[in-house]
Amino acid sequence: KQEVTQIPAALSVPEGENLVLNCSFTDSAIYNLQWFRQDPGKGLTSLLLIQSSQREQTSGRLNASLDKSSGRSTLYIAASQPGDSATYLCAVVNTDKLIFGTGTRLQVFP
The residue from 43, 60, 83, 110 that contacts other proteins (CB under 8 A) is: 43
Task: Answer whether 66's CB lies under 8 Å from 33's CB.
Answer: yes
Distance CA 36, CA 29 (A): 20
> Is residue 11 within the footprint of other proteins (CB under 8 A)?
no
Options 7-15, 62-70, 74-82, 94-102: segment touching other proteins (CB under 8 A): 94-102
CA-based radius of gyration for the chain? 13
Give contact residues for other proteins (rule: CB under 8 A): 31-32, 34, 36, 42-46, 49, 89, 91, 96-100, 102-103
